[in-house]
Amino acid sequence: MLTTLLYLINMDFFNTRRTVRKYTSKVVDDALLQEMLEAAAHAPNTGNMQLYSVVVTRSEEGKRALAPAHFNQPSVMGCSVVLTFCADFNRFEHWCRVSDATPGYDNFQAFTWGMVDTALFAQQFCTIAEMHGLGCCYLGTTSYNAPQISEALGLPDRVVPVTTLTVGYPDGEAPLSYRLPIDGIVHSERYHDYTDGDIKSLYAGIEARDDSRHFVEENGKTSLAQVFTDVRYTKEANELFSKIYLDFIVSKGFKLP
């Protein structure tokens, strides 16, 4: 009975999780932050190499240095702490060299390990923090302006920022984000492609929302999909930031195809 109750509580926690962008002035305690990071470091990773690091930014000066790289999103200055999660080969390769081992991790395959390890570490931290009553917001702008972030944080070669979390105590209740019906995501045994009708059915829910209709109207579009393709994530911007990030990764010592 107790196991069932705990299961239901946990499922409700995950089914109702929210991205929090507005925080109170309450500070996240150093000891709590350390405890959560230690627990997050037990996330799965490639070969137990732990190819990641995280830079903790608390000071107003540090946040101001990072804010422009994140397009001055209010959550950066408004949160208690900014966490920049990085793929880090600098530490592991240094250990290899002082141990008379020759590292061969300057390639695309190895870089994907670092990206995945970093994402798993960040998400485990995010879940732990939310279970402690904190709110978190991922900043996708990390890959847009990695060179500026690297400079602000003094990242050496072989260290690349992957994602950022703003963390703090929620100020009010954030809205619950829409998710596609699970039947549209899960495929049994093999991938089953979608018909036009399947797609229309899957996206009907999000298109019917008042906020979605508002986005369409205020941007002068005829569909929500156009808001994504023509306004929020345009081809031109994607190609620009792709080149910036790719060039930056190469500048950090990775030989990508």
pLDDT of residue 17: 87
pLDDT of residue 6: 58
Q: What is the mean pLDDT of residues 103-118?
A: 97
The answer to whether residue 217 is domain-embedded is yes
Q: Residue 235: which pLDDT band, with cuts at 50, 70 and 90? A: very high
The answer to whether residue 2 is domain-embedded is no
Q: What is the mean pLDDT of residues 223-230?
A: 96
The answer to whether residue 75 is domain-embedded is yes
pTM comes to 0.93
pLDDT of residue 3: 63
Q: Are 118 and 225 within one domain?
A: no
The answer to whether residue 210 is domain-embedded is yes
Query: What CATH number has the domain bearing residue 103?
Result: 3.40.109.10
- Identify the residue with better confidence: 252 or 13: 252
SS3 letters across the chain: CHHHHHHHHHHHHHHCCCCCCCECCCCCCHHHHHHHHHHHCCCCCHHHCCCEEEEEECCHHHHHHHHHHHCCCHHHHHCCEEEEEEEECHHHHHHHHHCCCCCCCCEHHHHHHHHHHHHHHHHHHHHHHHHCCCEEEEEHHHCCCHHHHHHHHCCCCCEEEEEEEEEECECCCCCCCCCCCHHHCCCCCCCCCCCHHHHHHHHHHHHHCHHHHHHHHHCCCCCHHHHHHHHHCCHHHHHHHHHHHHHHHHHCCCECC
Which range of residues forms the domain containing residue 223? Answer: 182-232
pLDDT of residue 1: 54
Q: Residue 26: which pLDDT band, with cuts at 50, 70 and 90? A: very high
The answer to whether residue 162 is domain-embedded is yes
The answer to whether residue 12 is domain-embedded is no
Q: Is residue 9 scored above 70 in pLDDT?
A: no
Q: Residue 146: which pLDDT band, with cuts at 50, 70 and 90? A: very high
Per the structure, the count of domains in the chain is 2
Chain segment 58-110, per-residue pLDDT in tens: 999 999 999 999 999 999 999 999 999 999 999 999 999 999 999 999 999 99
The answer to whether residue 55 is domain-embedded is yes
Q: Is residue 145 scored above 80 in pLDDT?
A: yes
